[in-house]
Structure 1
Amino acid sequence: MIDLFSRFFSSAADNAAGQDDERDLIVAIGALFLEMGRIDETFTEPEMAKVISILTSKYGLSGEDAAALLDEADRELEASVDLWQFARVINERYSIPQKEKLIERLWQIVYVDGKMDKYEHYLMNKLSNLLGLSHKQLIDAKLKVLHGK
């Protein structure tokens, strides 16, 4: 099997434009996952484990590759002014159903501890708007996570 990590993180000279796009996309997703985990200022071990689990099971990364991706996403977050740059990358490359799945995964991070605080609530609404999803789509994704569908 092709090592997905090398596709995302190989040097720019070796990358085709499509691979750069994929790398940008997965870094943007990782940045949103990190921001969701940190929004309440307590990025817990269970939240980090959920983020790693999503990256390995849904995006095909190894645990080591997922950790390296999150390091890169963390650097990008530190350099960013806001989340729009990450949402823009996702909006350019993801269909509505793919964005709905992404919102579901973000809800999974929110509910690792079984509850949602006001900061997580705010960020979920903000991300839904940035991704061009309706309130109904946001709530439907939340209900899927809460009801284990």
Structure 2
Amino acid sequence: MFQRILQLFSSVHGYRTPLPEADAKHALGALLVRVAQADHAYLFQEVEQIDRILAKRFGLNPLEAAKMRAGCERLSDEMPDTNELIAVLHDAIDLAEREATLLALWQVVFSDGQLHETEDELLALVQNTFGVAPEVCARLRSEALRSVQAR
């Protein structure tokens, strides 16, 4: 009997979320995860915010958004170069979508109530690569902070 219990746990432990294709949708999700993990803490508030963003952006129900996030977490783990994620997004989306992506990234950053230097540096890299004007970036940052504080 003990052997059967061990087998049960080993089969559960051996499960891995499938790696999604590195398309724009999943690159966005992976970048959201990467920003949330930039401060070496991946908090519930950040996970919840990512799920909300994915659900709203792609018309998903909560379970579908959580599944997508799990795949994006795996993609983020498997794809070591942040510049690749940013490049996939930059090439696949227009300026308006890049601005919406920056807003979403700032919402994740502010969702835990703290701004860490590593998060700020990562967002600066994204902003520069996306080619969004500094005044627009400042507006998006303020808008994100207000939207998270309103919750």
Aligned pair in 2 of structure 1 residues 147, 67: CA closer, same or farther (>3 Å)?
closer
Residues 33-48 of structure 1: matches in 2 within 5 Å? 33-48=32-47
The amino acid of 2:60's aligned partner reads: L
Number of aligned pairs? 128
> Is 1:142 aligned to residue 141 of structure 2?
yes
Give the TM-score normalised by structure 1: 0.77
Summarize the Cα distance change of 1:115–1:78 in structure 2 as closer, same or farther, 3 Å threshold: closer
Equivalent residue, structure 2, for 1:70: 69
Percent sequence identity over matched residues? 22
Give per-residue Cα distances to partners, 1:29-61, cap 9 Å, x unaligned.
Answer: 000110011111111111111111111122211
Per-residue deviation at 1:81?
Answer: 2.9
How far apart are residue 96 of structure 1 and its match? 0.8
Quote the Cα distance in structure 2 between the aligned partners of 1:47 and 1:77: 15
> Which structure has the greater CA radius of gyration?
2
CA distance in 2, matches of 1:147, 1:50: 14
Contact 2:50/2:69, CA 8 A, preserved across alignment = no
Amino acid at match of 2:42: F
- Root-mean-square deviation (CA, aligned residues, Å) is 2.0
Q: Which residue does the alignment assign to 2:60?
A: 61
* Structure 1: runs of 5+ lacking an equivalent: 1-19
Question: Which aligned pairs between 1:85-104 and structure 2 lie closer than 5 A?
Answer: 85-104=84-103
Using the TM superposition, give the Cα deviation of residue 146 of structure 1 relative to its aligned residue in structure 2, in angstroms: 2.6
What is the TM-score when the length of structure 2 is the normalising length? 0.76
Is the deviation greater in 69-78 or in 107-116?
69-78
Q: Which runs of 4+ in 1 moved over 6 A?
A: none
C-alpha distance in structure 2 between counterparts of 1:129 and 1:116, whole Å: 19
